[in-house]
């Protein structure tokens, strides 16, 4: 059974993105082990001169490295991924590189009708950056709009079409993870390239 880390891409205590990941954790319990990862509480990234990464971040990196894949659920603020999520990714690419060749599935929930489409596109660009080098599952947007009305009192999705779409994408992600495990011929060279990046000149 695959082990996935599910990153809650917000610091809100009442986020429907957390609710969506909790639903997936329960709904796919027979297919994969999904552990939720919170990013709230991390210090603001400040490119420390001593190159010391907070212990909370190194713990996160270790879990990501050990996982078969990562699921990120992002809200959308001002047509972009939230600052708290970008802050976490900045820490997770500062002299530590857990995302190199790591399979990533991006999803998102929002109160409006667009369902974080722009934030997901923005997040894809960030994860594809030279400092992160994640493998993002292509053509796989899951956009949960009107998310305040999307769940019943037990935390399940109420829209059968949305449930079917998520089921299909999750199955595709499991396949994508298995394929990615075989795409390792350039991994050592890619990882070395990322390690060789000079943060002092970025």
Q: How confident is the model at residue 196 (pLDDT cuts 50, 70, 90)?
A: confident
What's the confidence (pLDDT) of residue 112?
A: 82
Distance separating alpha carbons of residues 89 and 130, to the nearest angstrom: 12
- The pLDDT of 126-144, averaged and rounded, is 94
For 44-102, write each residue's pLDDT tens digit. 999 888 889 999 999 999 999 999 999 999 998 888 899 999 999 999 999 999 999 99
> Percent of the chain at pLDDT above 70?
98
Tell me the C-alpha distance between 157 and 15, whole Å.
15
Q: Which residues pair with 141 in a beta bridge?
A: none
- Provide the domain limits for residue 135: 2-201
How far apart CA 109 and CA 103 sit, in angstroms, is: 20
When divided into structural domains, the chain yields a total of: 1
Tokens describing residue 69: 């894949």
Question: Once rounded to an integer, what is the mean pLDDT over residues 126-138?
Answer: 95
Provide the 10 A C-beta neighbour count for residue 22. 17
The predicted structure's pLDDT at residue 78:
87
- Any residues with CB less than 8 A from the CB of 76 and at least 6 apart, and which? 82, 108, 110, 114, 116, 117, 118, 119
Q: Which CATH number characterizes residue 20's domain?
A: 3.40.50.360
CB of 64 closer than 8 Å to CB of 110: no
Tell me, what's the pLDDT at 199? 64
Query: Can you give the pLDDT at residue 150?
Result: 87
**Cβ atoms 149, 109 nearer than 8 A:** no
Q: Over 90: is that where the pLDDT of 133 sits?
A: yes
Q: What is the pLDDT of residue 198?
A: 66
Q: List all residues 6 or more positions away from 134 whose beta carbon is below 8 Å from its beta carbon.
A: 70, 99, 100, 101, 102, 103, 104, 127, 128
């Amino acid at each position: 059974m695959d082990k996935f880390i599910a990153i809650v891409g917000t610091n809100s205590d009442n986020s429907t993105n957390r609710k969506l990941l909790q639903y997936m954790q329960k709904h796919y319990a027979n297919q994969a082990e999904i552990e939720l990862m919170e990013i709230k509480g991390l210090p603001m990234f400040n490119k420390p001169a001593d190159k010391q990464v907070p212990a909370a971040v190194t713990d996160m990196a270790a879990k990501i490295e050990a996982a078969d894949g990562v699921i990120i659920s992002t809200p959308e603020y001002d047509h972009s991924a939230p600052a708290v999520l970008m802050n976490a990714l900045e820490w997770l690419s500062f002299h530590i590189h857990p995302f190199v060749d790591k399979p990533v599935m991006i999803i998102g929930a929002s109160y409006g009708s667009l369902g974080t489409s722009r934030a997901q596109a923005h997040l894809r660009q960030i994860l594809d950056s030279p400092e992160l080098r994640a493998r993002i599952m292509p053509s796989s947007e899951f956009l949960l709009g009107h998310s305040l009305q999307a769940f019943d009192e037990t935390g399940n999705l109420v829209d059968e079409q949305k449930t079917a779409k998520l089921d299909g994408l999750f199955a595709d992600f499991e396949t994508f993870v298995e394929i990615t495990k075989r795409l390792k011929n350039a991994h050592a060279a890619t990882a070395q390239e990322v390690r060789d990046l000079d943060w002092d000149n970025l």
